[in-house]
Every structure is written in C-alpha cells, then in structure tokens.
C-alpha cells in the first residue's frame, strides 16, 4: 500500500504531502489587548508590543493609569495605545490577554468584560495570573 501512496504523490508534483489548508484570516492584523500591568504583566506587554510585527499598536489597560503611561513612555504611540476603560478593550480587541493579581481582580475584570461582550468571548481571552485557573471558569459558567 505504501508503494501506491508514493506513486500517487509522484504523479502530482505540485502537491505538498501532509500539508494542511491555510487558516482563514491567519495573516490578518489582529488587535491585541493586554489587561494588567503589574510586575509580570508589564514586562510581558512591553515585550509583546516591542517585538510585534503588526500595524496596530497593543491596546493596554491597568487599574492605575500611571503603569499604562510608563509603558507608553518606554515605547511609543505606534506600539502602545492606552484604553479608556475595559469596555474599550472588550469592543476593539480580537485577542485579550490578562495578567491579574488575584481571584477578586479576575472576577471584577471579567464581569466588566461580560457587561460589554456577547456570549463566547472566552474563546478569545487568555489568562495569565498566579491564582487558581478555575477562577475565570467559574465566571464563564455564570
């Protein structure tokens, strides 16, 4: 049977064996949002914004505006935009990354996202925090 597969491949020289179709819109510029600029989040957002090959700047939000401004000053307006509120992050971003301090903050932030977004937004939200990973899951079920 393997001879049959090889001969079939040799007849079609243009085909790439075992390739998968391209993901639709995989090359489209996605707006990424980053929420939580604490010790870990600040460095991650800085690295992401600084090394991102995209036309859209990283949209950031933090409870204290000073941390967002510090990141903006460290980079530039073509790499960072500061969101007015969490609703702006929820509305404008294709992907949202959170780096939050604890379960209470996670609950508060995600509930604000829920006020803005439709069902299914958790499919595009990434959570980075040292708390229990099921915190967002319990909010997801509500």
Report which DSSP code applies to 94. Answer: S
What residues does each domain of the chain span?
Answer: 31-141
Give the pTM.
0.69
> Which CATH number describes the domain made up of 31-141?
3.40.50.720
Distance CA 97, CA 12 (A): 43
User: Could you tell me which residues are beta bridge partners of residue 110?
Assistant: none
Distance CA 31, CA 118 (A): 18
Per-residue pLDDT tens over the stretch 36-91: 999 999 999 999 999 987 779 999 999 999 999 999 999 999 999 999 999 999 99
The neighbour count for residue 100, using CB atoms within 10 Å, is 25
Comparison of pLDDT for 67 and 126, the residue scoring more: 67
In the structure, how many helices (H) and strands (E) does the chain have?
6, 5
The pLDDT mean for the chain works out to: 79
Distance CA 118, CA 110 (A): 12
Contact yes or no for 126/67 (Cβ under 8 A): no
């Amino acid at each position: 049977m393997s001879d049959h597969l090889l001969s079939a491949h040799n007849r079609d020289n243009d085909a790439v064996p075992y390739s998968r179709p391209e993901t639709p819109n995989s090359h489209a510029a996605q707006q990424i949002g980053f929420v939580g600029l604490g010790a870990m989040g600040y460095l991650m957002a800085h690295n992401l914004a600084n090394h991102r090959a995209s036309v859209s700047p990283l949209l950031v939000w933090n409870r204290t505006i000073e941390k967002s401004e510090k990141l903006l000053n460290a980079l530039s307006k073509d790499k960072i935009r500061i969101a007015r509120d969490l609703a702006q992050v929820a509305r404008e971003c294709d992907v949202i990354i959170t780096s939050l301090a604890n379960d209470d903050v996670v609950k508060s932030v995600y509930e604000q996202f829920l006020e803005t977004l439709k069902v299914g937004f958790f499919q595009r939200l990434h959570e980075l925090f040292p708390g229990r990973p099921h915190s967002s899951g319990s909010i997801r079920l509500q």
